[in-house]
């Protein structure tokens, strides 16, 4: 139980286009979802926290107009990278909280974004 | 902007050895700590956690030790296997009373297990 999926698992897009990444909790309702980005050989950096039905809370230095987060339901959050640039190329990982073990975050498999 | 890439600290061990991975955390207010394993191209996988009211917790082949005095966390893996090869991250919650766990991840250690 407590499975989180992400779609797509990898995506290549051209500069200036927008890309949407989905994060779903498959067998539990996620009260809170988190979005991280990870550059090669580096740690996970929290980008934003989202609660269903409310606006996401962004970490310092993360542009909310560039990284649009929508937490439309208790099982789905989306991250849209708008007007993507090569420096946005990264591994994006979501996690969800609200499974059997309260406060444990269950991580998705990640989405590799490459902007050309 | 994108940070300069860093080389992860690496621990190389032989199969069957015991491994110890260390982590120094920064926030003395943190009261919940977790170890994650991340294989290449995958999301982090929960290994074991510990609350600040404990100094040791054991799981299957893994033990986490917490020393709050020096803000140090360690993960011990017994009888390390090639399948344990991965990057290991510690995470702390910063003691934030926000109603959810906002995690801060450490820099990570790469564990290489040779047969």
Cβ atoms within 10 Å, residue A19: 19
Q: Which among A31, A43, A97 has the least Cβ separation from residue B107?
A: A43
Contact A51, A70 (CB under 8 A): no
Asked if B43 lies within 8 A of A110 by C-beta distance, the reply is: yes
Query: Binning pLDDT at 50, 70 and 90, where does residue A2 land?
Result: confident
Cβ atoms within 10 Å, residue B60: 7
Mean pLDDT over B46-74 rounds to: 95
Indicate the SS3 state at residue B84: helix
Between CA B12 and CA B23 the distance in angstroms is 17
Residues 28-87 of B with CB under 8 A from A: 32, 36, 41-46, 49
Asked if B8 lies within 8 A of A41 by C-beta distance, the reply is: yes
More confident residue, A66 or A98: A66
Mean pLDDT over B36-41 rounds to: 95
Instruction: Give A51's contacts in chain B (Cβ within 8 Å).
Output: 100
Per-residue pLDDT tens digits for B64-115: 999 999 999 999 999 999 999 999 999 998 766 665 678 999 999 999 999 9
Residues 6+ apart with CB under 8 A from B24: B71, B72, B73, B106
Q: Which among A46, A93, A104 has the least Cβ separation from residue B46?
A: A104
Per-residue pLDDT tens digits for A7-38: 999 999 999 999 999 999 999 898 899 999 99
Q: Which among A43, A49, A107 has the least Cβ separation from residue B106?
A: A43
Q: Residue B2 pLDDT more than 70?
A: no
């Amino acid at each position: 139980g407590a499975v989180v999926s992400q779609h797509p698992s990898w995506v290549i897009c051209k500069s200036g286009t927008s890309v949407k990444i989905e994060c779903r909790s498959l067998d539990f309702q996620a009260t809170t979802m988190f979005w991280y980005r990870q550059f090669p050989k580096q740690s996970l950096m929290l980008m934003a926290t989202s609660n269903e039905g409310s606006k996401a809370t962004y970490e310092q230095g993360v542009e909310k107009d560039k990284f649009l987060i929508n937490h439309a339901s208790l099982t789905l959050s989306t991250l849209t990278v708008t007007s993507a640039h090569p420096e946005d190329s990264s591994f994006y990982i979501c996690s969800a909280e609200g499974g059997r073990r309260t406060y444990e975050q269950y991580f998705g498999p990640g989405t590799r974004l490459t902007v050309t | 902007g994108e940070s300069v890439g860093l080389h992860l600290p690496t621990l190389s061990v032989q199969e069957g050895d015991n491994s110890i991975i260390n982590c120094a955390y920064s926030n003395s207010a943190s009261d919940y700590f977790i170890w994650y394993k991340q294989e290449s191209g995958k999301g982090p996988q929960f290994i074991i956690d510990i609350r600040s009211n404990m100094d040791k917790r054991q799981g299957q082949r893994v033990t986490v030790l917490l020393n709050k005095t020096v803000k140090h966390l360690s993960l011990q893996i017994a009888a390390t296997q090639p399948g344990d090869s991965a990057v290991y991250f510690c995470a702390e919650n910063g003691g934030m009373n926000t109603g959810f766990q906002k995690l801060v991840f450490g820099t990570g250690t790469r564990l290489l297990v040779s047969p």
